[in-house]
A and B are shown apart, each in its own frame.
Chain A
């Protein structure tokens, strides 16, 4: 059974601070890792993808991957109230399968 684990939160940070979201996964064969943002009642919106160990930056977002530790994280710098949402970690099944396994998500609240 492939598992993706996230702290459900809520994680509260003040506006302008760095929000740090973490995710662990069980399948060592996974090759592609994604962060989606989901506003309440809405669909997942892709914000970052990462495939190799290390950091990947895109604007205020930085994804970090450590395959040895089976750990993925997302940092959001200069957090804004509009960043308040649930952040879903998703992992593929590897071996050419792009079926995604999602974590339950971490609810982020950015306090003005």
Chain B
């Protein structure tokens, strides 16, 4: 069964460092998302991406965040200068065209120290 894959599964970084989280969406999907979940809290929307551009973003997705689809398969989330409060699980999700259902990757646990 096709699935969304994310790497790494766990990333530890020092405050102020840049991190890149990687995702390979399901191959025929066209809509890509990043969500995050701080420990014990709700899953929160960060950004959606379609046709090589951001279609929606939340207030959380400020100038420190960026997304990119550098090739035909990868979708990345970059955090330019990490803060302690960026520590969370980051989930990538994808959705097919004409379909409303989004499927999530297994997540990257980001720990900022």
B31: A residues at CB distance < 8 A: 98
- Taken together as a complex, chains A and B put the C-alpha atoms of A53 and B98 apart, in Å, by 21
| A43, B100: Cβ atoms closer than 8 Å | no
Tally the A-B contacts, defined by beta carbons under 8 Å: 49
- Taken together as a complex, chains A and B put the C-alpha atoms of A12 and B102 apart, in Å, by 29
- Taken together as a complex, chains A and B put the C-alpha atoms of A104 and B43 apart, in Å, by 7
Among residues 59 to 112 in chain A, which have CB atoms less than 8 Å away from a CB atom of chain B?
Answer: 88, 90, 92, 97-105
A51: B residues at CB distance < 8 A: 100
| A98, B43: Cβ atoms closer than 8 Å | no
> Which one of A46, A90, A105 contacts B103 once the chains associate, using CB atoms below 8 Å?
A46
Verify if A54 is at the interface (C-beta below 8 Å from B): no
- Taken together as a complex, chains A and B put the C-alpha atoms of A51 and B91 apart, in Å, by 24
A32: B residues at CB distance < 8 A: 100
- Taken together as a complex, chains A and B put the C-alpha atoms of A99 and B106 apart, in Å, by 19
Mask: chain B, 83-113; 1 = CB below 8 Å from A; 0 = not: 0000001010001000011111111000000
Residue of A nearest to B104 (CB): A43
- Taken together as a complex, chains A and B put the C-alpha atoms of A102 and B48 apart, in Å, by 15
- Taken together as a complex, chains A and B put the C-alpha atoms of A104 and B33 apart, in Å, by 19
Among residues 11 to 26 in chain A, which have CB atoms less than 8 Å away from a CB atom of chain B?
Answer: none
Residue of A nearest to B107 (CB): A43
Q: How far is the CB of A20 from chain B (nearest CB, A)?
A: 21
- Taken together as a complex, chains A and B put the C-alpha atoms of A105 and B41 apart, in Å, by 9
| A99, B45: Cβ atoms closer than 8 Å | yes
- Spell out A's residues near B (CB within 8 Å): 32, 34, 36, 42-46, 49, 51, 88, 90, 92, 97-105
